[in-house]
Each structure stands twice: as structure tokens, then as C-alpha cells.
Copies of this chain bind each other. A is one copy, B any other.
């Protein structure tokens, strides 16, 4: 698995509305993947802050790619549970979404996602997720 293959998975497996986030695979390592969400007025609510809905969508999407990276291929899976915590607002910068697989068994996978500002590196939201592998 490499960044190009993961990038190519975005138009293949995700809804057009999710593709409109314009997520870019930034890096991969043993624990997971990091995506970049470019700053975009379409995703901002009044005041220029990145909307929470976009953060949740990016987090869920990043985790699916992290599982793909973990397994070395796309495995059909479905989100069972996603818990989202919003620590502080993000504005005037790209976001980095880091998704790590905590455990992947035969039928369930667990992961955590952190979103931080690309410029200031501050964590803005955290997610824990459970996936059923089909």
C-alpha cells in the first residue's frame, strides 16, 4: 500500500459529497495514515471556522483508509460507532487528520483519530471509532 493507492481509493469508495472535502493523503506509517484537509470556505461556518460536520466526515474517511493500509487492501467494512470530541475551533489553516488503528481483529476494528491544525499543530478534535469487517 502506498499514498497513491490510498488517494485513488477516495473516488472509488466514497460518496461524491465526501470527495468534495478534497482530502489528500499526506503520509503513511506503521500505525496509520495522515490526511490533509485543505482550508476551504465551503467548509466554514460564520466566523471562518472549519465546521464540525467536516471534521467528523474527514475522521471517518481517514479511518477507512487507515484500515485499508493496515490490511493491505480494501476490505468492505461499516462504521459501527464513532465518538467525536471537539476541543477547540480551527480557522485559517489546513487540517491534518491522523488515523491510527488500535486493534483489528477478524470481525471488529478499533481506531482513534486526531485532527490538528497544519500550521500550529494544536489538536482540535478527537475521535474513537469501531468498524465491523464484513
Instruction: Write the residues of chain A forming the contact surface with B, with a CB cutoff of 8 angstroms.
Output: 12-18, 20-21, 40-46, 51-54, 56-57, 60-61, 78-89, 102-103, 107-108, 110, 112, 123, 126, 128, 130, 132
Which of chain B's residues have a CB closer than 8 A to the CB of A45? 13-15, 18
Which of chain B's residues have a CB closer than 8 A to the CB of A15? 42-45, 51, 53-54
**How many copies of the shown chain assemble into the complex?**
4
Contact indicator A52/B44 (Cβ below 8 Å)? no
Interface of A is mostly: mixed
- The 7 A-B residue pairs with the shortest CB-CB distance, nearest first, are A53-B57, A83-B83, A15-B51, A16-B42, A82-B84, A17-B42, A56-B56
Most B CB atoms within 10 A — which of A45, A57, A81, A89? A81
